[in-house]
C-alpha cells in the first residue's frame, strides 16, 4: 500500500499543487486546511506516514501543529516536514524546537520535494 501523507496548507491552490505532486509520485494524500483540521485527521488516522505542513495558517499555525502532533503517541517519531515561504532563522528555530523534522522553503521544485520525501520515508 502506498504511504499516506497529510498535507496541510490554507491555500487551496497550494494544497492542490502539493497533492498533485505527491499523488503523481505514487503517494496517497490527505489534505487539511489548517492546523486544527490536520490535528483532527491525525488523531483519527494513526497510519499516516508523514506530515507536510505550511506555517502561516488561520486557526492553528504549522508550528503549533507540530507541537501538538508530537504530543500524540502515534506521531512522536513520524517525520513532519515544514513547507513554507518563511525562511527566517527565528522561525526555523521555533520549528525545530517544536519538533519538526525538516524545513523546506517555498517555492519548491516538485521533483526535489519528492526526492526529499523518498529519503525521509524509505
Partner 1 sequence: MSIDLSEFHDIFFEECTEGLSVMEEGLLTLDKGADVEEINAIFRAAHSIKGGSASFGFTAISGFTHVMETLLDEMRDGRREVTREIVDLLLESVDVLRDMVTAAREEDESENQRTAEVQAKLERVLAGQAEAEPEAEAPAAAGAGSDSAASPAEAAPETEEPVQDADGTPAAAAGWKISFAPHESLLRSGNDPARIFRELERLGRLEVASDSADLPLFNAITPENSYLRWDLTLYGDIAEADIRELFSWVEDECDLTLTPFSAVEAVPAESEPAAPAAAPAEAAAAPAPQAVPESVAPDAAPAEVAEVAAKPSPAAAETEPKAAPKPAAKKQASNKESGSIRVGIDKVDALINMVGELVITQSMLSQISSNLEEGTTKNFDKLLDGITQLERNTRELQESVLQIRMLPISFSFSRFPRLVRDLSKSMGKQIELKMTGEHTEVDKTVLEKIGDPLVHLVRNSLDHGIETPDVRREKGKPETGVLELCAYHEGGDIIIQVKDDGAGLSRERILGKAVEKGLVSENEDLSDERVYNLIFMPGFSTADKISDVSGRGVGMDVVRRNVRDLGGNVTINNNAGGAGSTVTIRLPLTLAILDGQLVRIGQETFIVSLVSIVESLQMKREMINSITGQSELYRVRDEYIPIIRVNRLFGTREGTEDLLDGLLVVVESDGQRVGLFVDDLLGQQQVVIKSLETNFKQIQGISGATILGDGTVALIMDVPGLIQKHFESCKRADSGRAAAA
- Point out which residues bind partner 1 (CB under 8 A): 10-14, 16-17, 20-21, 24-25, 33-34, 36, 54, 56-60, 64, 79, 81, 84-85, 87-90, 92-97, 101-108, 110-112, 114-117, 119-120, 122
Question: Which residues are within 8 A (CB) of 20 and not within 5 positions of it... i.e. 6 or more apart?
Answer: none
Closest by Cα among 95, 2, 94, 97 to 52? 95
Residue 32 CB, shortest distance to partner 1, in Å, is: 11
Residue 72 CB, shortest distance to partner 1, in Å, is: 19
Residue 110 CB, shortest distance to partner 1, in Å, is: 4
Question: Which residues are within 8 A (CB) of 52 and not within 5 positions of it... i.e. 6 or more apart?
Answer: 5, 6, 7, 8, 18, 22, 80, 81, 82, 83, 117
Beta bridge partners of 8: 32, 53
- Beta carbon nearer to partner 1, 8 or 84: 84
Residue 24 CB, shortest distance to partner 1, in Å, is: 6
- 3-class secondary-structure state, position 10: coil
For the record, the C-alpha cell of 12 comes out as 487551496
Amino acid at each position: 500500500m502506498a504511504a499516506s501523507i497529510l498535507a496541510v496548507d490554507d491555500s487551496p491552490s497550494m494544497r492542490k499543487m502539493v497533492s498533485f505532486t505527491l499523488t503523481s509520485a505514487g503517494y496517497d494524500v490527505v489534505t487539511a486546511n489548517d492546523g486544527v483540521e490536520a490535528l483532527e485527521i491525525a488523531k483519527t488516522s494513526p497510519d499516516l506516514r508523514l506530515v507536510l505542513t505550511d506555517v502561516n495558517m488561520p486557526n492553528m499555525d504549522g508550528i503549533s501543529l507540530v507541537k501538538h502532533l508530537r504530543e500524540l503517541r502515534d506521531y512522536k517519531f513520524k517525520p513532519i516536514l515544514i513547507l513554507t515561504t518563511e525562511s527566517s532563522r527565528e522561525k526555523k528555530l521555533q520549528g525545530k524546537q517544536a519538533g519538526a523534522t525538516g524545513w523546506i522553503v517555498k517555492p519548491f521544485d516538485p521533483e526535489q520535494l519528492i526526492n526529499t520525501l523518498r529519503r525521509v520515508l524509505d
